[in-house]
Each structure stands twice: as structure tokens, then as C-alpha cells.
Amino acid sequence: MEKFIRHTGSAIPLRRSNVDTDQIIPAVYLKRVTRSGFEDGLFSAWRNDPDFVLNKPEYKNASILVAGVDFGTGSSREHAVWALQNYGFKAVISSRFADIFRGNSLKGGLITVILPQVEVEAIWLAIETDPKTQLTVDLESRTVSYGNVVCTFELDDYTRWRLMEGLDDIGLTLRHSDVVTSFEEKRAKFKPKTLPALAE
Amino acid sequence: MGKTLAEKIWIDHVVRRADGEPDLLYIDLHLIHEVTSPQAFDGLRLTNRKIRRPDLTIATEDHNTPTQNIDQPIADPVSKLQVDTLRKNCAEFGVRIHSLGDIEQGIVHVVGPQLGLTQPGMTIVCGDSHTSTHGAFGALAFGIGTSEVEHVMATQTLPLAPPKTMAINVEGKLKPGVTSKDIILAIIAKIGTGGGQGYVLEYRGSAIRELSMEGRMTICNMSIEAGARAGLIAPDATTFNYIKGKPHAPKGADWDSAIAYWSTLVTDADAKFDVEINLDANELAPFVTWGTNPGQGLPLNSNVPNPADIADAEARGAAERALVYMDLTAGTPLKSIKIDTVFLGSCTNGRIEDLRAAAAIIKNKKIASSLRMLVVPGSARVRLQAESEGLDKVFIDAGAEWRNAGCSMCLGMNPDQLKPGERSASTSNRNFEGRQGKGGRTHLVSPLVAAATALRGTLSSPADL
């Protein structure tokens, strides 16, 4: 995974709350077996409307999505994160994210930033007034800045470190493989096991 | 201070805890299906890793599978590739799989409990948000993304921060015609789709205790729609009786040891929840959704709401958009809404009790000629059980379609879909825009409301018959 220290880019205002993952990436795209190529599926139903913000030329190169409250509700599909990343987004800002979506995003290096709604509104106003406004999402200082404005956000130290180092979660866990083995040796005997795979 | 049930299960599964790091939690059972696993298996192959515990892993095919002509190859090539990919992956990595045609095949959250794999005190995960269903057994069960699926495959653990706890107390007795589906829809309407975010919900109270295991599964299933990661119900005699004798249930001395442990899985009397919500079961009525998220619901005896009456600007805007999408006018009685398609099925309400309840309403009657009804048992075993009870004949004689097991019309991914503009009364769990097919309009209902609606043609409860 690439290291993420800070990213500067223009932003797009998605003035909708409760954007569920069925809107972010409809089920039909989930039939794919790859991690890439989901950019066409991103908000595909809403993009049929020529007035939808993603279709506006002034926001064409936006790499930061600024959304309403409760972004990413519903299904656990990580494809929602991949669709946003494949499309070109590096960060999403909202005042609240659904748990599973947030976990998925931070796993995959899509930075989800939680800011109070009043600050989200201020950003919307700024980028609607001037779509060329540059926002910087900075993991090192845990800030989002644009113009003269600096907003701080929370992110636990561990996740911040992992993202800034571009580290793979699985590799980190495998360092403690022996501790996992000791735990397994003490597990209750009555816990169920599944049957073996059938021979071909 | 005492511990809540969720905290007890959590502590029992912490493999490693270190300052400033998430806990490393052991996973007792990993359920797999075809949609969220291909990229995870690929990841293992690319890094030359194996599945650490294939004996704690099991797979089924459910989302992308057809519910008709299952003896023939899957018609849609993209779906076929995904299902074939799961089969190849399971063979390569040594995972037991119940494929279409296998007697144990079905919706993953129906399969786990019916095999007796879902047991109290376990941590259970799956790349599917409705994994919360298994919480009905007093397990800590939650949905994960594909990267986490890969992580569990490689390490049988997950790095996680402990969630906050919320108690949902439901006291009283349900009136006739009111079901567990109505309880959970009312809860979601009350706390909102973001209300449970960051929490594990524990459902408590006399109305919860009265529910069968299938009723409890319906409630825990939709915890995710309230924004919660997981929902659970403390195990009791109802739970133990359900599990006893199931294929993977402990036996003999192991059964006694299990019961002894499971009996400790109760929230302590002096434990403190971060939040407590109360609901009076006596006041509940059949509930339906009118809008495009599961929180936009009302008692069936109400009218489509007027957005102008909603104080909160966000909620008002959302309601306005929902009414446009759903083609509904404020003030319209919900009972006058005409339905094109009734869907009885899904991991929420696709079990034998749901089918029995609906069949009892429909028996010897005909469904309205203005609509079609799809009945999809949650697993092959549920289907066989239903057929042995003659339920299939009840549905077919009434004019409904009797299908094979799968997620079917819950999500617009397999051939069972709504056409644009079609309106469904669905016993599933999500009514998002396009959920059941592009432009499809979904009203979430209980099996009883689904059955009554099928007979009358408009949203109805059995009391209207």
C-alpha cells in the first residue's frame, strides 16, 4: 500500500445524507472478481442525471469527496471503497461514517475524515463558490486546510502510523503468529469445527 | 463493575492487547460466499499465504445464484465466473463448500445456525453486513470487508477497537399480528440509520425472551440497518434447545461443558451500558417502510408523511427525495399503496416459521391478479422442510412462485429483480434506491403483511382480511 502523508487537490460537494453503499456501487458490479475497474460503477444510478454533481465539468478533477452525514451506510461491500479509489478519490470528508465503510476505507488507504457538520458546510460553501479551491488532507498534522481555514480531525495513532508507513495489516498481525498459536491451544474443546473440503 | 455480554465475549477472544493498538481478536467461525471472497483469495495467492484454519471456515453460494433451473449452468457469464471462482478457491485452499444443488446450500446466515455452527459466545464474521444475524445466539457476529476477509483467512484474527454498548429494552407482549420484524423496524425508525453507529446492540426484555430463535434472528439481522456493527441476544433455554442435536452441536461431555459456559453469557446485573433505549412491545403494530432507507418506516395504519412536518433539515430533504423516488404523495394512506411484487424470503425472513406464518394466511385463497409473489426459502433444508409440510402447494395453489434457496430478490444481483418503477412488499432488509433492481421501489414488511398484501393487492395486514 502506498504511504499517505498528505494530499492536496480540489474537492466535490455531495450534498446528500445517508449515502448508502448500494448508491456508491450497485450490486450488479459486485459480480466482478477483480479489485479494479469499478470507476464506471461509482454512483452509476445518480450519474444518469446530467445535473448530478459528479457530471459537472468544474469538478472533473476533484480528488476529495465532501459528503453529507452518514456516508457509506448499508452493505459491507468493500467495492464501495475501490470504486471511489478507482475513480480518483483519495479522501472522503463527512460528519459521520458507517462503521463498516470506515473500517474498509482505512484498510485500503482511502482516508475518511470526520469533521463537524458546521465545518463540512463551510467547505461546501467554499468549493461551490470556487471549484478550484485546493484542500489539503494532512495525516501528519491531522488537519484539513483550505484558504485560511485549518480544521483538525481525530484519527487514532495506530491507524495514522500504519497509513503513513503504507503498512499491510496482515503482515503486521503475522508478526504475532506465536501469540495466536498459544491462544488457540487454550480454546475450549467444545467449540465447533467445520467439515473438511470434499475430495475432488 | 459488571460486564455486558458483548464485553464478556470480547475479553474472551483478545489474543493480544497493547497500548495504542487495536485489540487482536480471535475469530471462531468464518463464513464465506462468492461475492466478497474472490479478491481475498487472490490476495492470499499473491503473498503465498494459506488459510490458517480451514476447519473454522465454511462457504456457501447465495447472492449471485439463480433460484430457478439450478441444475443448469448459471446463465449470466459474470455470475457464473464468480461462483466458479469460489469453487476453485475452496478446492485449492481446502474449504468445505455447499454449492448450488448441495442439500446444505442456502443463504449464509441461514446455513450457519441450521448446521449448529452458530453457538453462544463465539466470534463469527463474514463478508456480509447481515452477519449480525448470528448474534441471536449470543454470539459476537459482524460483517467485514474483503480486506478483512483476507486478514481472517491468513491469521484467523482481526485487529479491532472495542465498540460501545447499547441496550435496547423491549418489555411487554406483542399483540396478535405483530412480529419480530415489526419490532426491529420500529427500533430503526426510533433511533435512525445512524443511531447505532459505533455500538453493539443488546436486545433485552420480556418481549425478546418470548421470541423463538428465528424471531430473534430477524431482529439481530437488521441491527446493521440501525448503523450498529453487531446486535446480540443473551442465550437461554430457547437457544440451547434449538442448538441441541444439530450437526455441529457439542455432544456428550462437551455438551455439558458448553452449557456451563453458555450459562455465564449474560450481562451482569451491575453492568453499565453506554446508552439504553426502551420500547413498549404492547404499543407496537405492523410496521412498513415508505421511503428509501430502513429508518423511514411507520405503522401500517398511517399515511405517507409530509416532509414539511419534519423539523430536521437533513431528514426533511431525505424524505422529499424519497417520496419522489418512491412516487408517493404525502397524506396517502399506506394501506392504499398498490404492490406489483411480493417477495417472501431473505436472511431476515426466509426461515420455516416465516413460511408457515405466510402460508397460514394464504391457505386456500388466491393472490391478487394484479401482482406476482415470489417465495424463496432461505436454504435447501428449509425448502425441503416446507415441502414436507405441504407449504409449497399452499403457495403454488394461491398463484405464487415457489423457488430454490438464495438471496434472490433482496438485492438486484441475480435474475430475481424488480423492473424500473415496480413496487414490492418485501420481507428483506433494505429499501435503498435501486436495491432490488434499477428504479425498483421497495417497501419492507413482515411475512404476515407480505401474505395479506399478496391477497389484497395493496399494503395490508391480516387484520384487513
> How close, in Å, is residue A103 to chain B by CA atoms?
8
Interchain pair A197, B95: CB under 8 A: yes
Render chain A in DSSP notation, one character per residue. ----SEEEEEEEEE--SS-BHHHHS-GGGGG--SSS--GGGTTTTGGGSTTSGGG-GGGTT--EEEE-SSBTBS---THHHHHHHHHT--EEEES-B-HHHHHHHHHHT-EEEE--HHHHHHHHHHHHH-TT-EEEEETTTTEEEETTEEEE----HHHHHHHHHT--HHHHHHTTHHHHHHHHHTS-TTS--PPPPPP-
> How close, in Å, is residue A183 to chain B by CA atoms?
6
Radius of gyration of chain B measured on its C-alpha atoms? 21
CB proximity under 8 Å: A 30-89 to B: 30-35, 45, 68-70, 73-79, 81
Output the tens digit of pLDDT for each of chain B's 465 residues.
Answer: 899 999 999 999 999 999 999 999 999 999 999 999 999 999 999 888 999 999 999 999 999 999 999 999 999 998 999 999 999 999 999 999 999 999 999 999 999 999 999 999 999 999 999 999 999 999 999 999 999 999 999 999 999 999 999 999 999 999 999 999 999 999 999 999 999 999 999 999 999 999 999 999 999 999 999 999 999 999 999 999 999 999 999 999 999 999 999 999 999 999 999 999 999 999 999 999 999 999 999 999 999 999 999 999 889 999 999 999 999 999 999 999 999 999 999 999 999 999 999 999 999 999 999 999 999 999 999 999 999 999 999 999 999 999 999 999 999 888 999 999 999 999 999 999 999 999 999 999 999 999 999 999 999 999 999
Report the candidate in B292, B203, B149 with the shortest Cα–Cα distance to residue B4: B203
Find chain A residues with C-beta within 8 A of B317's C-beta. Answer: 17
| CA distances from residue B138 to B113, B161, B182, B220, B284 in whole angstroms, order as listed | 12, 20, 21, 10, 25
Q: Does B314 touch chain A (CB under 8 A)?
A: yes
What's the pLDDT band for A35 if we cut at 50, 70, 90? confident
Q: What is the pLDDT of residue A28?
A: 87
Q: Does A114 touch chain B (CB under 8 A)?
A: no
Interchain pair A17, B129: CB under 8 A: no
What's the pLDDT band for A153 if we cut at 50, 70, 90? very high
**pLDDT of A200 above 80:** no
> How close, in Å, is residue B253 to chain A by CA atoms?
9
Q: What is the pLDDT of residue A34?
A: 84
Q: Does B148 touch chain A (CB under 8 A)?
A: yes
Residue A199 is placed in which grid cell? 475430495
Interchain pair A180, B154: CB under 8 A: no
Q: Which residues of A154-193 are buried (b: 16+ CB within 10 A; e: fewer)?
A: ebeebbbebbeeeebbbebbbebeeebeebeeeeeebbbe
Q: Does B151 touch chain A (CB under 8 A)?
A: yes
Q: Does B410 touch chain A (CB under 8 A)?
A: no
pLDDT, one tens digit per residue, over A119-135 is 999 999 999 999 999 99
Interchain pair B143, A76: CB under 8 A: yes
Secondary structure class of B426 (helix, strand, coil): strand
Q: What is the pLDDT of residue B373?
A: 98
Measured between CA atoms, the residue of chain B closest to residue A30 is B35
Find chain A residues with C-beta within 8 A of B145's C-beta. Answer: 76-78, 81, 100, 103-104, 107
CA dist., res. B426 & res. B354, Å (int): 12
Q: Does A165 touch chain B (CB under 8 A)?
A: no
Residue A60 is placed in which grid cell? 472533473
Question: Residue B289: beta bridge partners?
Answer: B297
CB proximity under 8 Å: B 360-379 to A: none
Please give the mean pLDDT across all residues of chain A.
95
Measured between CA atoms, the residue of chain B closest to residue A28 is B413
Q: Does B261 touch chain A (CB under 8 A)?
A: yes
pLDDT, one tens digit per residue, over B393-427 is 999 999 999 999 999 999 988 899 999 999 999 99
Interchain pair A100, B129: CB under 8 A: yes
Q: Does A185 touch chain B (CB under 8 A)?
A: no
Q: What is the pLDDT of residue B412?
A: 85
Interchain pair A30, B35: CB under 8 A: yes
